[in-house]
Amino acid sequence: MATPKPGMPVRGSRSGRPIMALLDLLGRRWVMRIIWELRAEPLTFRELRARCDDMSPTVLNQRLHDLREAAIIGQAGEGGYALSALGAGLLESMGPLLQWSDKWQRALDKETL
């Protein structure tokens, strides 16, 4: 499966709109987790795999390829991966979602009491 990019048709949309490409990329299994784990520091393949619940090395390799091709991550040092400037900007833009998810949890906790 090709890496989703703006201007190209993606799963669920032929429009080529950047948001549709981003949603396709972020919706792929493990992509969000990889971005999250790289939020604080570069990690090697082995470290990243361990932090991602020992996911299949084949899947991790494919997701890293997708994220590199989309310019969300890049190589860092010897065998490591880090968020690129675009990736760091993407992570920063997710801050409001993190805050919302905390509110959501509190609201659901109140409902179950």
Q: Which domains does the chain have, with CATH numbers?
A: 30-112 (1.10.10.10)
48 touches 60 (CB < 8 A): yes
Q: The whole model's pTM is what?
A: 0.88
86 touches 72 (CB < 8 A): yes
How does pLDDT run across 37-84, given as a tens digit for each residue?
999 999 999 999 999 999 999 999 999 999 999 999 999 988 899 999
Q: Report in angstroms the alpha-carbon separations of 112 from 103, 106, 108.
A: 15, 10, 6
- The single residue listed with the structure tokens 């784990």 is 37
How does pLDDT run across 21-30, given as a tens digit for each residue?
999 999 999 9
29 touches 59 (CB < 8 A): yes
pLDDT at 113 over 70: no
Q: DSSP character for 9?
A: -
How does pLDDT run across 76-112, given as a tens digit for each residue?
988 899 999 999 999 999 999 999 999 999 999 998 7
43 touches 81 (CB < 8 A): yes
CB atoms within 10 A of CB 74: 16
DSSP bridge pairs for 37: none
